[in-house]
Homo-oligomer: A and B are copies of this chain.
Amino acid sequence: MKVRLKRLNDAVRFEGVNDAGNSVIIEGGPDAGGEGKGVRPTEALLMSLAACSSVDVVMILKKMRQDLQDIQVDIEGERAMDQVPAVFTKIHLTFYLTGQIKPAKAEQALKLSVEKYCTVVKMLEGSVGITYSYELKS
C-alpha cells in the first residue's frame, strides 16, 4: 500500500493522496503555524481507527442479518500532556447504532471488531488503552 503526502502552502497544510486520487487535508495545529483548514494528524489517526472499526461492524452486522440503518461514532482521545510527544494514553469509542438490531448481536459485532478484526486497533493497542461503549436505538 502506497500513498503520498504533498504540501499545499508554505506552512503545515498537507494533502494526502491515494492511488485512486482520493485526498484528505491534514494540517498541523496553531502552535505549528496551522490555520485550522484541515484535520490534525492525531485527529486523522482517531478517524482512521473509528472508520476501520466501523467498516468491520457494518460487515459483521450484515452477515448476522441485522438491519443497521445508521452508525455514528464519537471518538475521544486522552493525551499524555506532560510527555513529549503527547501520545494518546486512552482512546474511547462510543458507537451509536440505529436499526432493528438485537443487543446481543450488537455487542458481539463490536467485540469482534474492536478486539479481533480491526487492523488499526491492533497496531495501536500495545501502546494505547482502547475502550468502547455503545448506544442502540431502533
**Chain A interfacial positions (CB closer than 8 Å to B):** 1-7, 11-12, 14, 16, 18, 20, 22-28, 32-34, 36-52, 54-55, 58-59, 70-77, 79, 84-88, 116-120, 122-124, 126-128
Please name all residues of chain B whose beta carbon is closer than 8 Å to the beta carbon of A40 when the two chains form the complex. 1, 18
Say yes or no: B85 contacts A122, CB within 8 Å.
yes
- Counting every copy of the chain, the complex holds 2
**Are A123 and B120 closer than 8 Å at their CB atoms?**
no
Q: Dominant SS at the A interface?
A: mixed
CA distance A71 to B6 in the complex (A): 7
Alpha-carbon distance between A130 and B21 when the two chains are bound, in angstroms: 25
9 A-B pairs closest in CB distance? A16-B47, A28-B55, A41-B52, A44-B48, A24-B24, A85-B119, A26-B51, A5-B73, A5-B50
Question: Does B11 lie within 8 Å of A58, measured CB to CB?
Answer: yes
- Can you name the residue of chain B whose Cβ is closest to the Cβ of A21? B36
Write the nearest CB–CB distance from A38 to chain B, whole angstroms. 5
Contact yes or no, B72 A7, CB < 8 A: yes
